[in-house]
Amino acid sequence: MKFFKELPKSIYYSSILRIKSIKGLTKNKKQLPVIVSMTSIIQRLSTLDIVIKGLLYQDVLPEKIVLWLHKDLKSKIPKRLKNLEGKFFEIRYSSLDCPHLKLVESLKAFPTKTIITSDDDFIYIDNHLNNLYEEHLKYPNCVIANKTTQIKFDENNNYKPFVDWRSKEKHNHNNILLPLGAWGVLYPPNSMPEKVYDEDLFFKLAPKADDLWFKAMTLIKNTISIEVENKPKEPIPVIGSQKVSLKQENVKNNKNEIQWEALSNHFKLKEILLKNE
């Protein structure tokens, strides 16, 4: 049912964005001192130009959008996407082939910059970037998310199933908020430890769950996560881009629970979370 509600919006905005020029999208707009970082897979390259233009369609502009791709995709870039490269958008390549690529390489490349992550299968037509940045100005040392879930425990201090994390309850601290990457997340400089780059470890503990890996890293660093007060409209899925989805794989097969338990056990995250209750 949700698919059919989203379909007209997706078709409409995809059509509008496809005919917009970069000059028309970026002229006379305020530029924020942030890097938008993202990654993608070969199945989504044909529609990725729509996502990039959607980010530039907003009221404000980032300093630059950086798309990180596995090096094997260098010869497979569609013309529509290649033609967007310039002042506001660039493609970089890495030996990594995992969802963590959307952030870890930008953390290395821009260590002093504020970085906002974006997914590759949504049109962000609302003020996603400005919402995050305005909240960042109020809480400059916090991770800022447009949408979060809440890590929850049962009466025996065991983690509740992920399905129970979707609703949020009143709480005394923000460590239990889990930022959702699909809506956009802002990371200030030095919000995570050097361990965030440990490829062997994130492939071992959370190979399909970059959001969980980054949450674990912020917990280790004792960096608070906050949800914006003025939540933007829900991002619009790009039709045809979600045939291959980590979310479906992780949720249907309970892989989120498995990967979070692995992270929690390795880094003793439960102790960090419960000591603040």
Over the stretch 140-194, which tens digit does the pLDDT of each residue have? 999 999 999 999 999 999 999 999 999 887 765 678 999 999 999 999 999 999 9
Q: What values do phi and psi take at 229, rounded to 5?
A: -75, -40
Q: Please tell me the distance from the alpha carbon of residue 183 to that of residue 124, in angstroms, as a whole number.
A: 8
What are the residue boundaries of the structural domains of the chain, listed by start? 2-274
**Token pair recorded at residue 123:** 């049109």
Per-residue model confidence as pLDDT tens digits over 59-74: 999 999 999 999 999 9
Q: Do residues 149 and 260 touch, judged by C-beta distance below 8 A?
A: no
User: What's at 261, amino acid-wise?
Assistant: E
Q: What is the CATH number of domain 2-274?
A: 3.90.550
pTM of the model: 0.93
